[in-house]
């Protein structure tokens, strides 16, 4: 098809944006970018009974979080009723559509699909075809669940005097058992993934990997979580701390977190004073206390060296970790020392010696 490439992403504001829809959004953006084209964001909200208040705003926020920008829109179908009514009248005048007894308008095609409901509102079929024509859409990239509509939409476009766009149908994201994605498949809405602490870069990378799958693809949460670990590891300290909502000084203690929820828990582990209890190795705590006072201000190299010297001296580092955090496991001990101000580290050490 000649001319500039123009694609569209057309979510319905009927709920949360799921990874399956996000796959379509990413596919449209990538297709357009690779061809120097344009992405139009369209909100398919012709059925007010199914639209949820605030859903459009959540969709826009999810797309922004995922880094999916658009060139034009959002174009709302609810604001284009006049265009749909005009198209229906033209189809009636040409004899390619007929009006039913209840006032609805139906296409004179084998399936006789409804184009305008009895109340005058456009159905998905008419609204989509009219919008694609008037917005100059050259490629419709969508899930293969829409494949049965392609022939009808092409016929309807031609009946309206328009050249149909090229229809590209990709495979769907499905659950592990091959069924439709649901809550049983794990966190499948972008909002769920965000709440679970999965960084947007990981979600985007996962969807980019899938590309335009020919067949259905089983949702792989394990792969997504591996990408999450990689994405967090690639963040600079300042950005990692910002995402976790903690002070930058805590960033080294967050390294190794598998998601941002875990990163916040690690930060809390370091900043929350442990419940007072007597240490099992007072000699270790005393050795640490003396070494920490001598060291003064710490950087990463000094913190690592302090821990290394204690280890060489036979210190019980598990007991020291318990004295400083109250937990036997957690961030690297040097990162804990780097995150804790000297006076706080000494206070916690003293508390374990007194009790």
Query: Quick one: pLDDT at residue 318?
Result: 96
Say which DSSP state 187 is in.
-
Query: Quick one: pLDDT at residue 48?
Result: 80
The residue among 144, 140, 141 whose CA lies nearest residue 163 is: 140
List residues bridging with 168 in a β-sheet: 141
Tokens of 287: 């050795």
Distances (CA, A) of 2 to 6, 71, 136, 163, 165: 11, 20, 11, 11, 11
Query: Quick one: pLDDT at residue 186?
Result: 58
d(CA 215, CA 338): 50
Query: Quick one: pLDDT at residue 3?
Result: 72
Mean pLDDT computed over every residue of the chain: 94
Assess whether 156 and 280 both reside in one domain.
no
Assess whether 144 and 279 both reside in one domain.
no
Total domains in the fold of the chain = 2
Within a domain: residue 322?
Answer: yes
Q: Which residues contact 287 (CB under 8 A, 6 or more apart)?
A: 310, 313, 315
Query: SS3 for 316?
Result: coil
Query: Quick one: pLDDT at residue 47?
Result: 83
Q: How many CB atoms lie within 10 A of CB 337?
A: 26
The residue among 166, 173, 163 whose CA lies nearest residue 25 is: 173
Q: What is the CATH number of the domain that holds 42?
A: 3.40.50.620
Final residue before a domain boundary, out of 143, 159, 174: 174
Tokens of 79: 């604001």
d(CA 27, CA 35): 12
By residue count, the chain amounts to 355
CB distance 291 to 306 below 8 Å: yes
Final residue before a domain boundary, out of 143, 174, 205: 174
Assess whether 35 and 148 both reside in one domain.
yes
Within a domain: residue 189?
Answer: no
Distances (CA, A) of 59 to 9, 53, 90: 11, 12, 34
Within a domain: residue 51?
Answer: yes
Within a domain: residue 60?
Answer: yes
d(CA 176, CA 219): 6
d(CA 267, CA 283): 27
User: How many Å separate Cα 245 from the centre of its chain?
Assistant: 18
CB distance 193 to 62 below 8 Å: no
Final residue before a domain boundary, out of 174, 201, 224: 174
Within a domain: residue 346?
Answer: yes
Series of mean pLDDT values for 10-residue runs along the chain (355 residues): 85 92 96 97 90 93 96 96 98 97 94 94 96 98 96 97 97 88 70 96 97 94 97 97 95 95 96 92 97 95 97 96 95 95 96 86
- Domain of residue 346 covers 273-354
Within a domain: residue 220?
Answer: no
Within a domain: residue 228?
Answer: no
Query: Quick one: pLDDT at residue 1?
Result: 43
């Amino acid at each position: 098809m000649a001319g500039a490439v123009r694609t569209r992403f057309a979510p319905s504001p009927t709920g949360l944006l799921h990874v399956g829809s996000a796959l379509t959004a990413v596919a449209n953006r990538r297709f357009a970018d690779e061809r120097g084209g344009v992405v139009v964001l369209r909100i398919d909200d012709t059925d007010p009974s199914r639209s949820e208040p605030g859903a459009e705003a959540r969709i826009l926020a999810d797309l922004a979080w995922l880094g999916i920008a658009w060139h034009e829109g959002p174009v709302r179908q609810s604001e284009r009723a006049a265009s749909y009514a005009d198209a229906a009248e033209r189809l009636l005048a040409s004899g390619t559509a007929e009006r039913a007894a209840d006032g609805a308008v139906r296409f004179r095609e084998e399936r006789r699909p409804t184009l305008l409901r009895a109340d005058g509102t456009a159905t998905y079929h008419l609204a989509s075809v009219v919008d694609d024509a008037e917005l100059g859409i050259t490629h419709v990239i969508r899930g293969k669940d829409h494949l049965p509509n392609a022939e009808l939409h092409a016929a309807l476009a031609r009946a309206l005097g328009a050249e149909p766009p090229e229809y590209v149908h990709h495979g769907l994201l499905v659950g592990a058992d091959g069924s439709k994605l649901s809550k049983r498949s794990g966190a499948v809405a972008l909002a769920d993934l965000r709440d679970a602490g999965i960084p947007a870069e990981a979600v985007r990378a996962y969807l980019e990997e899938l590309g335009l799958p020919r067949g259905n693809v089983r949702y792989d949460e394990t792969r997504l979580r591996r990408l999450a670990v990689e994405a967090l590891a690639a963040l600079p300290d300042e950005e990692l701390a910002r995402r976790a909502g903690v002070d930058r000084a805590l960033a080294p203690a967050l390294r190794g977190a598998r998601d941002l929820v875990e990163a916040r828990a690690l930060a809390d582990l370091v900043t929350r004073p442990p419940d007072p209890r007597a240490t099992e190795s007072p000699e270790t705590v005393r050795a640490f206390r003396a070494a920490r006072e001598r060291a003064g201000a710490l950087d990463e190299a000094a913190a690592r060296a302090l821990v290394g010297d204690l280890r060489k001296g036979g210190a019980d580092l598990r007991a020291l970790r318990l004295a400083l955090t109250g937990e036997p496991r957690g961030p690297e001990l040097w990162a804990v020392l780097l995150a804790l101000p000297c006076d706080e580290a000494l206070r916690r050490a003293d508390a374990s010696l007194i009790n």
